[in-house]
Copies of this chain bind each other. A is one copy, B any other.
Amino acid sequence: MKQPIKRRSRKAGLPPGTPVHIGERRSEISHVSVIHFDATQFREHTFERVDAVTPLRAPQGVSWVHVTGVHDSALLERLGKAFDLHPLVIEDIQNTDQRAKLEDYGSYVYVVVKLWQNSRAANGTRVEQLSLVLGRDFVLTFEEAEPCVFDSVRQRLRDDRGRLRAEGADYLAYSLLDAVVDSYFGVLEQLGEQIEMLEGQLVTRPSRAALQSLHGLKREMIGLRRSVWPLRDVIGGLERGTSGLVRSEMWIYLRDVYDHAAHVIDTIETYRDMLSAMLDVYISSVSNRLNEVMKVLTIIATIFMPLTFIAGVYGMNFKYMPELEWRLGYPLVLGIMIGLGLAMLWYFRKKKWL
């Protein structure tokens, strides 16, 4: 989650609908995976390039075309032609710097969402954009890079587990969105553990590194929040039954995903509140600590400055200083010094500084 806004300047001045890839290129080659299925059959193919004779749409049943890597404009345009997509859709798929949104084009619905995943490679979280086109008998999905969050759905299709094969394209789309929202829970779990750990640390010793981590977590939260708020609206829009593409039986399922998204938002807001509260604790701890340091300094100075002054007085070289001649002068002054020191200590104890 480094740069919240990507270089769009390449696109300035081009007519709308021109497909230009915006964002970092994450995979070198695009893969196209095509699955045709209905209640009784299942076929799966993988292509690296698409031409006019590539069997993208099944004559019957549902077709799920999944594209990994969105920088190949030619491929996308060919797909667009095959499924009759609006040029703006093709443009939006390539622009990986977008807000989650839902657009209803009548015969199909175009959905963009952000996907957050724990990534060992990136040593933290990885964000990518996911486009989904839902038609009456097809679902197209476009992802920036492997590994795919949809592997489990694909596996369920292959094994014919659950109702995936029996249901239509809308149920498939729901399952995919469910997988997307579930990915957020994984990220939140990890962040939750980091927050938990950091909180203990802040309490025991508020270091500069802890502040750094706190700030990092805050930034992650800002980014997550920015992704999830519109995601919830997208699912809500889908639920409110657009275009008759989503059967009313699906609403209860979409309601469920919607609730999950709401839960994610709730959790993010809670984490934000907790991080704010932790910063307050941190700042208070730091000034508490400053107070303690200053007390030590003040105690030392208050005890030794008067004593040093007394020693200085009897270090003066005046000719006529009667005390210097006294036999008991030295022990007397020493005694006074010790008494003064003890009096100071008693005073600080009384003032609860010690």
User: Which A residues are closer than 8 A to B by beta carbons?
Assistant: 2-5, 7-9, 11-18, 86, 88, 92, 97-99, 101, 103, 105, 151-152, 155-156, 161-164, 175, 178-179, 182, 185-186, 188-189, 192, 196, 203, 205, 208, 211-212, 215, 218-219, 222-223, 226, 230, 252-253, 255-256, 259, 262-263, 266-267, 269-271, 273-274, 277-291, 293-298, 300-302, 304-309, 311-321, 323-330, 333-334, 337, 352-353
Inter-chain contact B305/A294, CB cutoff 8 Å: no
Q: Is the interface of A mostly helix, strand, loop or mixed?
A: helix
B211 touches A285 (CB 8 A): yes
Contact B205 A352 (CB under 8 A): yes
Residues of B contacting A269 in the complex (Cβ-Cβ under 8 angstroms): 226
The 4 closest A-B pairs by CB, nearest first: A15-B162, A13-B152, A311-B312, A314-B316
Question: What is the CA–CA distance of A188 and B13 in the complex, to the nearest angstrom?
Answer: 17
> In the docked arrangement, what's the CA distance between A293 and B266, Å?
41
Cβ contact within 8 Å between A284 and B211: yes
Return the chain B residue nearest A195 by Cβ: B4
| B263 A222 Cβ-Cβ under 8 A | no
Could you jot down 16 A-B contacts, CB within 8 Å?
A4-B267, A103-B255, A211-B281, A211-B288, A226-B270, A230-B266, A297-B298, A300-B302, A307-B309, A308-B309, A311-B315, A315-B317, A318-B326, A318-B330, A319-B329, A320-B330
